[in-house]
Chains A and B, each alone.
Chain A
Amino acid sequence: DTGVSQDPRHKITKRGQNVTFRCDPISEHNRLYWYRQTLGQGPEFLTYFQNEAQLEKSRLLSDRFSAERPKGSFSTLEIQRTEQGDSAMYLCASSSYRSASTDTQYFGPGTRLTVL
């Protein structure tokens, strides 16, 4: 396994701009998760996919946020009309869910977003 990869690693944008992040999960992992982490806090769940289906979204995911996983492989997270409060580390994780005993989540390196 090459691990979960995320791109870009850092993104600086001006308020009001749109940004898109990409996550490539571990090969053949069927579940993919997005979390957000602010300074000094633990990661907070945003949404997750099983294959291409988005099964759950947190109330943290406002209508400015949209996530896709079109072919059940990589995923994108888009933030429209960014606000300074969106500044955070966006983490992606994946797992190979086959039963309740195999749902271990492995995280990528994250994308650090700074909104000026």
Chain B
Amino acid sequence: GENVEQHPSTLSVQEGDSAVIKCTYSDSASNYFPWYKQELGKGPQLIIDIRSNVGEKKDQRIAVTLNKTAKHFSLHITETQPEDSAVYFCAAIVTGTASKLTFGTGTRLQVTL
């Protein structure tokens, strides 16, 4: 089955700096890669996603890149703000044939003033 590894497990940045979180996946058939943000006591919230026919996607301060050959994808947050502090999860899935998301172990992002 699919295995997703995520690094780093914790990340501390100063407000205004950039943050990068990296994930690798094992199943070359995976074709959809969402990123979720989870705040304490809440469910995961989808923040951005990318499909395998696209190499990069951007939404305001958030961007995701995908390298299918190397089987890794990354989340980039620019101009970080204190409200970006949360746990971020990457996930991978083969859409259509299997519907279970396989998640990474999470990155706790702390944005300090």
**Contact in complex: A107, B43 (CB < 8 Å):** yes
Query: Assuming A42-B89, A56-B99, A101-B95, is B36 touching A107 (CB within 8 A)?
Result: yes
Contact B42 A105, beta carbon cutoff 8 Å = no
B43 touches A103 (CB 8 A): no
Query: Does the CB pair A41–B105 fall under 8 Å?
Result: yes
- CB contacts (< 8 Å) of B89 on chain A: these are 42-43
Cα of A115 to Cα of B105 in the assembled complex, Å = 24
CB nearest to A43 among chain B residues: B103
Chain B residues with CB below 8 A from A33, complex form: 99-100
Does B51 lie within 8 Å of A105, measured CB to CB?
no
Tell me the chain A residues, 68-107 only, with Cβ under 8 Å from chain B.
91, 95, 97, 99-101, 103-107
Are A31 and B36 touching (Cβ within 8 A)? Answer: no
Most B C-beta atoms less than 10 A away, residue of A4, A99, A110: A110
Interface residues of B (CB under 8 A from A): 4, 6, 31-32, 34, 36, 41-46, 49, 51, 89, 91, 93, 95-96, 98-106
Q: Which residues of A approach B to under 8 Å, CB–CB? A: 4, 6, 31, 33, 35, 40-45, 48, 55-56, 58, 91, 95, 97, 99-101, 103-110, 112
- 21 pairs from A and B in contact (CB 8 Å cutoff): A41-B105, A41-B106, A42-B6, A42-B103, A42-B106, A43-B44, A43-B101, A45-B100, A56-B99, A91-B43, A99-B96, A100-B96, A101-B51, A103-B93, A103-B96, A103-B99, A104-B34, A105-B46, A107-B45, A109-B41, A112-B41
